Structure formats: C-alpha cells, structure tokens
Structure 1
C-alpha cells in the first residue's frame, strides 16, 4: 500500500527542476501513505514526472521500489495497492519470456501493461489498486482504479497541465490547480455526508470512478475515460445465469469463494492482523483467517464505557472462542475529542460519517502491532445486511400495497412522538432487547410510506433531505440513483438497493472512511468480502436466499455458524457508532457553536444560516437528535478552515526535497 502522484507539463511552462521538485512535494504531502521510502522519475523532454511513497508490504528490498521501469525504459509505473493473484500472473509472464528482478506485484503489473495492455491487465487483477502507467512510445498516460473503489485517484487537467494523486491535498500544491469550492458538490455532500466520484469538493478536480481507466495524451491534451469493469454489466450477466442450487448450496459456494478471498489476502512480508468488532462480518473473516494461520491471529477492537455503544465484550468472546491474540482499546471521550480537530486533514475532503473516529482509533491501535489488517467491510452490501434491505424485502413491500390514506395515517403515528419519547416508551415494554435508536428508525421509516421505488432509497440515504433548501448556488447532479434502466436490470427492490449501495455508499462512504483512517497511520487494510468474484456471485443468488426467513445476511450468518456458536453473535445490529449527539450538547458544544455561528455561515456564503441555526437549537434543546445533519455541517466548515491556505492559493511553494 502506498501513495502515488504525478504531473505532466505538456506545454513546458516550468523548468524540469521545478517540475521535479513539485512531483516530490506532491508525494511528500502524502508521506503518511508510504513512510518507508520515496522515489521520483521524470522525462524532462516530455514533461512527465511520476512520484511514489512506499509502504513496504511485499518484497521489502529495493527490487520493489517505485516508480518502476520496464527493462527497455519505455514503460514506467507508480502503483498503490495489492494484486493478490500476482503469483499466477507472474507465471504467465515468465512463460512469455519476462525475467523478474524481485517478487513484488508491482513488477507483475508493470510487465502486464507492456505485454497485455493496460485494460486487459486491470481485468486480470484480483485485488485493490490505483496506478499510473506512462508509455513513452505511445506518449500516453493511463490512470486505473480497482473495481469497487478501494483505492482513490484524484486528477485535474488545466489547460494542458495534467496532475494526479492518491489524495486531493497534493493537487492543491500545483500552481495551476483550481481553488473554487464546487457548490454542487456541497449540495450533494449535504445529502450523503461524502463527496461522490467523479466529483470532488474542488471544482475542476475529479475522482476516477471505480472500475475506471482514464487516458491522457499530452500532445493533444485529450482525456478519455472507459470502464474495464462495471457492476451493471456483471449484474446483467448474473441475471442471465442465476444460481439454481439450494440455499445450503449457495452457502457452500459463498464460503468457498470467501475462504479463497481470505487466504490470498494473507500474503505479506510484514506483520498482519484483523479488525474484530464482534459482528457477523469481521467475525467471519477472522474465523476463516484462523484456518490458514499457523498461530493466533492478532485482532483489535474498540470499546466504549457506554454500554449502548459498546461491542467490545462481544468481540472478546468471539476472540476467545477462535483463539486469537486480542487487544481492546476502550475509547474515552477525551481520546475521541482530541482527534476531532485532526479529522479534516485525515479525511482530505469534507467527510462526516461519525464512525470515522473509532475507525481511525482502531487503525491507530492496530498499527502499533501490525502493518496489515483484514476487515469485514462489504458484508452488508454484498449479503443484504442493512435494515433497509430487510424492509425492502418485507415491511416496506407489504405496506406499499396499503391505500395511501392508511399509509399516511401510519406515518403520522410514527412521528407523533419524538425519537427520545419512543425510546423511553419502548424501554418499559417487556420483551426482547430493543435495537439502539429505535425512535430514530421509526422517524426515518415514516416518510418512506409516502414514497415508492428509488425515491425511497434516496430518502433512506439522505441526511439533509432537501439540500437545495440549505446550499447556496449548488444543484445536485444526476447519479446512479437516477438511472431509470435499473428497474429493468434488477429483479427486485432488495437487489436494486444492494446495487445502489455498492456503487454509491460503499465507495463514497465506507471505503473512503477506511482508506483515509488507516492510511493516516500507515496501515494497510484488506477486505475479503469485497473480492469481485464474491460480489459477482452474490447477484446470482436470489434475494429470497439473502433474506431467508426475514433475516439479513442469511448466507453469511450460515457460514459463520459453521465456525462460531450462534449465541456469540446473534444480536441486534449496532453499527460502529459514537455518541456524537451527547458530545455536541456537552464537550464539543463550544467548538460547534463557533463553526455554526450565524456570522460565520453568512461570511462563508455556502449555506443558508437560518435552517442550520434552527436545527442546531432544536438539537441542543433535546427536542430532536440532529447529530448527523449537524456533524455534516461541522465537518464541512472545519475542512474549509483546515484548507484555507490551499484554497486561497497561499499554500507554501514546493521546496527542494532530496530524492
């Protein structure tokens, strides 16, 4: 895992030495992604410069250093990620006559691009990756991103000055970088609390989409983009070849694929462990890791003193059953609050999934012991694990058949009490343990009763349901959720929701969160549940199996039950939350009040102060729990503060840096 950056000065606007210094400064801005080494390569005549920050995982010798060149010097590669099937591809390339200097997967990708071409090499790779390949014979640069979007690539093209990097920050060092905030991105951010590809928070800076290849030809200035892999194509193939076996056979095939996906992600020349929350996803991964480990797997979890949020005891029980070497860090409010001022720099763009805090903290904990950690990311999206999937396959479907007035009356009943009042009422009702935040869930369900189809999904994923009422001058752009072709492509609402999760929420929120949090502490994370072979298989499996008996993630639960007693994991879903609601009313109140002041909001000119201030007052009073909407505005404003120098163009000019 590494950091990449580069630039092409096609019109020769700067001296070669200035371009070299800029390329080095860009890579140094992401030193956290690769503290083990750096490198730069340039072709002064072509104006092409590639740089690299190295986190050494496979082949720790100089044979794995980057940027890496083909023996004839015609191809150069700077690469971030892991190709888990590199040994198999290497055998094919050796049979074709290629001679390898080391055993890194970088060399495999480099020779693959030369031998098969860039697009075919990307299609052959199993793993997570983002890379840039320059071919001096064709005079063309390729940028490539992995299928699901685990590894990021930002790029810009300003009048023939092309640049790219693993994060936004290095691009803002470029003297010709755009600096204006994209107001449409602000509106879209308010809805989801992340900035989705292909856009960024800066107008004119873009993100390469998952499964994408971008080419830049400096002689003409031409930029083209294509997809070497897309989920819609794979879903269409899956629908043409549905899985016809029994539910039990579906479980066995999924376990076979997941076990192999886990096995190949254990390759490492440095210490390796896993995050273990005690939930179904991470517990399944750790159970499968233990099958391939000679000793006890190192596992890590975050705990809370507040029992409403704490899953550490469950993680410890599963760790004990599986025999892992487990470490728990109990997150105190002061620990978390100390991280808050650093969040804008850690996450690089406005980003407001509050679980960013424990994700960063567990990454920091794990990095004290290992350099690589496997995660359970993707289990909900791949195996239908969210409450919205269960609702789409059950309650929402049934309620949708009721007359409109009946649904409206039910919605009114659900909102007749505040979330806190619902929670208090249900605590005194005897019976099974109620899910956390059940009152908020009822309030979230109520407006869905008046909607249909993808409008329900849009409402489910919305934090500010009407961003146009808040954002000044920005308008949301069409995205995957607006694709009317989905109704014909996908057989049912559950499959459609899973598809939308995988192309929007997963790369925009989950994978962004884990990438930035882990790479901030130089930790590589790997997600077996997002192996593309498993994702493709999951769409062959009918939704009736994914939600068999009304149970979310039925297939994954059956796999886990083969390794862990059900009593250790069968409990209501908690998520990876933090008590932001109470922190905003307590220790974070003064910090938040400054960022939300009416004067500040007016001077900033991005948001209408009145609705923001009104919601903030309601939250402080306890009448509503608006923690997520408020957190979104806070993270936006804190990011603007942190990046004020870069956005004004006053960032320090790149200084000479030793190679």
Structure 2
C-alpha cells in the first residue's frame, strides 16, 4: 500500500510544489520505498510507495498511454492479471496500477466495478478537467478531503490535508456526540472541522469549477428468497468463497504472513494459506498482555502447531500504552478507538521484521454475526414494543446496579433502553447511552445519527440480525476496525489485507439467510462449520474472547494518575468541553472497584490525548512530525 495526496485549484493557478512535498512527507511511513509528484495547470498529485507488486517498475503518479488520465493509487488489485489479459493496451509495466489506467482508458470510469481488491485513488481526466476520488467497497483503505472556494485538497490521512493548510481547523463539535456513541466518527465526517472522509463504495467527481458530486457504486445485495439455501449448500459456498478470497489476497512479489489470534477467523485464514501454499511455511504473529484471564496466546500456539507455521509473539504492557499513545494518535488522526489499537501496532512492528504483507481476520463477525449481541438481537428487539419512556426508566434503574462481572448483560440492557432502532444498534458498541451523552454534552450541538447508507439492502420482513449486520458494515467496521488496521499497520510500513472482506464473499454473506449465521444459539455458525473442516473442534467451539486489554486494572494502578490529570486537570479539553461533574463521578465509580468503567474512561482519555496531540502545546502533531523527520 501507499500514500496519496493532491491539490485541485479551481482558479487553475499552479499548485505549490513545496506544499505537495510537505504533504508527501507526512505520508512517508505509508511509502518508504519511493515517492513521486505530477503537476499540470490547476492540479498536483503526490505519491509515496510501499513496493509490493512490480517492485522495480510502476512508479507513480502514472499517466495513461494516450496522455488523458493520470492516477495516484493506494492499494492492491488482486485480479489485475486477469483484467490485464482482457485489455488491449500498450502496457509499459507489470503492475496493477497501469491496469486501472488501461481499463478506464478503454471503457470509461464505470470499469472500476471490475476491480477486486482494496484501494483508494485519484484519477484526473486531462480532457475534461475533472478529477475522481474513489474508495473501495468496504472502506479498507482511507481517503480524506477538504474544500474551500479556491481548492480541494485530498490525502490518505488527515495529516496530509493539514500539511497543505496555512491555518489548522478546529474541533468539529457536531461530531462529538457521534464519537461518544461509537469511539469513532462515521463517514463522511471527522473530528476535524471541515475535513471529510470519502464513504466506502463511493466515488467523488470534482469538476474544474469545484462542484463535488458523490456517487455510490456498490452496496450489499438483498437476501435470496426464503428456502433457496440448504445448510450444506451454504457451508460449501462459504468454504469455496473464503478459499478464493484468501488465494486472491496472496498476490504479491514480497513475503506474506498472517496475524493469528487463535480465534476462528484468523485461524481459518492461516489454515487456508497453508493449504493453498503447501510448499511454504506460513509466518504467523500474535500479541499477548501477560494476563492469563484475557491472553489468547495459548490458543494461537495451538493453531500454529496444528497448521505448522513459523510463529512469533509480542507482549504488550501498560508502559507501551503510556509511551505510544501520542504517536499512535498522530498516526490515527483521531482518538485511538480500541485499546487493541496499540497492541496491533506492536504486532505490526514484529511482523514487519519478517514480511511486508499480513493477512488478518477483520470482517468475519460483521458478515456472519459473530458477536454475542447477534444472539440476543431478536429478544432485545422485541422489547422495543414497550414505550420508550418506560424502557428508559427501567434501564436507568437497573443498569448501574449490575456488577462488573455482568458486563454483557449490562450492554444488552442499555441496548434495550435505546429510543430508536438506529440508536439501539449503535448502543451495543456504545460506551455512552444517548441519555449519558446528553448529560456530558450539555448544550453543545449534535448531528443526527442514522442507520447508514445501505438501507436499500434491507428486507421487508424485518430481519433484525441482517439489519444489525448492515449497520455494522456501514459504521463499526470501516470507521473503527478497518481504520485501526490501516493506520496501525502503515505506522510500521506494513501492508494489511483482510481477505474476508473480498466483496465477492461479502455479496455471498448478505445473500445468505440469517438462520445459517445464528443457529441453535451459535453465532457465526456457517463460518464455524467451514473452519471445522480445517481446525480442531476446541478452537472452533471455544467461547469468543476477543483482543482484550486489562485496562480496568491499569486505570486503578499504572495509568490512574494520568487518567485523573488528563480528564480533570485545568487545561483538560474533556473537562472544559464536557460536564466536569459527570466526568468526575465516572472516575470515582471506577476507583471504587465495584464497577468497571474502563470503556467509558478509555473513550474520554483517547479524546483528550487526540486533542493534546493535534491542538495542545506539549505533544503537538508538529512536534511528533519533527521528531520523525
């Protein structure tokens, strides 16, 4: 993968080459192998390259053979060889970048729907003076932009956009409610005022005069007719699709490894790699936290021994969090959304010593209903038949009485008390309920939240599991998990590929009935049945744990002083912006030891560290960049 950036001047004035170079420098970690620039009247592109395919060629930005199209491209096109064979074009390279130019040159912009892979790119049409920004279907790779009356600026990361500005934007207060709802801000918004995120499966067309038009080019299909799938046919189809997706994701001219948590998704991917490439031992990588109650390292070792991989481990502790927090916030351009972000970075550092590409298991839960919430979905949905006011009062009366040991019951109770179905779906992952957010935000303005943009894929018979999956596909997956995966891996100059998000597998998953996803109380049933063909039963059937970090203990010990100082201090953004009394009450509840408020405290701490990093005077983004330069 790579870093891309560019400037479009609506007055057709020359683009400042020094500004383009400054933008590219902020993306050096995304592309340490090469960099390039291209300029024409009113437009300039920059590119930093991590060489994965056609290592000695395919320099960017790249212009088509007829001179009409220019591209700066981030990503990998897994079916580029098959596409190349179908195109009559005077190819000059052996890479995937030129295949995009060739296809668009011969067949027009709609041809991009043939691409299989992960990508974010800009295409400039010299003939019409228009520029197209394109992001892959699931949002694996990022793309940001901002507009003024004079220009549009875009980049793979927000810091590249910031590098073009003479004045730094402020905090988008309208997005604080969304952040407190899900620890990330759904596209097209960000926490930076005026900086937008191109939504997944969209392209933006920018005219010479500055008009911006967004077009959605893909969405999940409707479910197949009832009774069309038998359980055995569903398992066979998913098995074949997973195999094809993993095979596609292995396309590279450099070594490829895999993350291995010991869970079903990553274990299945590793088993598939080993079966597809029996002549090579798979390099696998796992992270642990030194806590037997949450560590999954023994399970990862079990799978490694079963498959026969060369296995590597890294251990993460509280010191990693304190020392890496500001730097990784700079890489994220946003608050660190999950405690596992820091562990994923340390994992990427370790993997980068052996390989340049890793496969990961993101997407399995969001496609095949893997989270515990899907098991409780129908019961919680049924509660919404009660009046909202009655539900809210009941939840408020019960929730704070539940001890930390009943954390999952507490989450289900909070979801049942949500006002609307959209709010209910978000509440499963929300650190703060709608009522709590109102208390924290006071009179601050908010932006309305919706179910998302894939509404046309919903069924008429109200399949609540499918609706939850679509909601996660719209928000939680791209804005949290995939953003984390991209930033933490690219911070270590490592390419991350999630094969379960091959859009052909996604299409199949949404055509399948929910009855093969949650079956007999078992979540992710159909994918587990596929995994059972390659993995030991104890790996497939064990209880889902997830990438757990012992934050609750750390906030009462090694990180306690930092927590109180950052969230209640005189210069604290959280204390100045949110309700100070509510924040202090939250910390005191956690200190008591009777309740575990780690998720809420983490959410506020990450917001504070983000503000320090980009707007503070002690650990500013400019200082971090200077240190890296």
Matches within 5 A, 1:151-300: 151-175=141-165, 179-218=169-208, 220-231=209-220, 234-235=221-222, 238-239=223-224, 244-293=228-277, 294-300=279-285
The C-alpha deviation readout for 1:5-40, integer Å capped at 9, x for no partner, is: 000223256x65xx1111111011011111011000
Matches within 5 A, 1:487-636: 489=460, 491-601=462-572, 605-636=576-607
- Give secondary structure in 1 for the equivalent of 2:92: coil
- Give secondary structure in 1 for the equivalent of 2:571: helix
Cα separation, partners in 2 of 1:574 and 1:224, compared to 1, 3 Å? same
* Match in the other structure for 1:75: 69
Rounded to whole Å, the distance in 1 between the matches of 2:186 and 2:227 is 32
TM-superposed deviation, 1:417 = 4.5
Q: TM-score if structure 1 supplies the norm length?
A: 0.88
The C-alpha deviation readout for 1:98-155, integer Å capped at 9, x for no partner, is: 021121100101112222222x232110110000011111101100000000010000
Matches within 5 A, 1:38-49: 38-43=35-40, 46-49=41-44
Matches within 5 A, 1:228-377: 228-231=217-220, 234-235=221-222, 238-239=223-224, 244-293=228-277, 294-377=279-362
Any conservation in 1 of the 2:184–2:335 contact (CA below 8 Å)? Answer: yes
TM-superposed deviation, 1:180 = 1.8
* Match in the other structure for 1:433: none
* Match in the other structure for 2:104: 113
Bigger mean CA offset, 490-499 vs 78-87: 490-499
1:8 aligns with 2:2: no
Rounded to whole Å, the distance in 2 between the matches of 1:5 and 1:145 is 14
Cα separation, partners in 2 of 1:129 and 1:444, compared to 1, 3 Å? same
* Match in the other structure for 2:439: 469
Cα separation, partners in 2 of 1:603 and 1:461, compared to 1, 3 Å? closer
Rounded to whole Å, the distance in 1 between the matches of 2:394 and 2:574 is 42
TM-superposed deviation, 1:397 = 5.7
Cα separation, partners in 2 of 1:60 and 1:390, compared to 1, 3 Å? same
Any conservation in 1 of the 2:203–2:215 contact (CA below 8 Å)? Answer: yes
Instruction: Give the length in aligned residue pairs.
Output: 621
Any conservation in 2 of the 1:147–1:211 contact (CA below 8 Å)? Answer: yes
Bigger mean CA offset, 598-607 vs 133-142: 598-607
Cα separation, partners in 2 of 1:112 and 1:613, compared to 1, 3 Å? same
Any conservation in 1 of the 2:489–2:496 contact (CA below 8 Å)? Answer: yes
Any conservation in 2 of the 1:645–1:651 contact (CA below 8 Å)? Answer: no
The C-alpha deviation readout for 1:427-479, integer Å capped at 9, x for no partner, is: xxxxxxxxxxxx11122222344457444323223212132322352303233
TM-superposed deviation, 1:402 = 9.4
Bigger mean CA offset, 347-356 vs 328-337: 328-337
Any conservation in 1 of the 2:32–2:493 contact (CA below 8 Å)? Answer: yes
The C-alpha deviation readout for 1:311-334, integer Å capped at 9, x for no partner, is: 000010011001111112222333
Cα separation, partners in 2 of 1:477 and 1:127, compared to 1, 3 Å? same
Any conservation in 1 of the 2:341–2:488 contact (CA below 8 Å)? Answer: yes
One of 19, 28, 33 as aligned partner of 2:30: 33
TM-superposed deviation, 1:202 = 1.3
Rounded to whole Å, the distance in 1 between the matches of 2:52 and 2:96 is 10
Any conservation in 2 of the 1:257–1:534 contact (CA below 8 Å)? Answer: yes
1:442 aligns with 2:427: no
- Give secondary structure in 2 for the equivalent of 1:329: strand
* Match in the other structure for 1:130: 120
Rounded to whole Å, the distance in 1 between the matches of 2:258 and 2:455 is 40
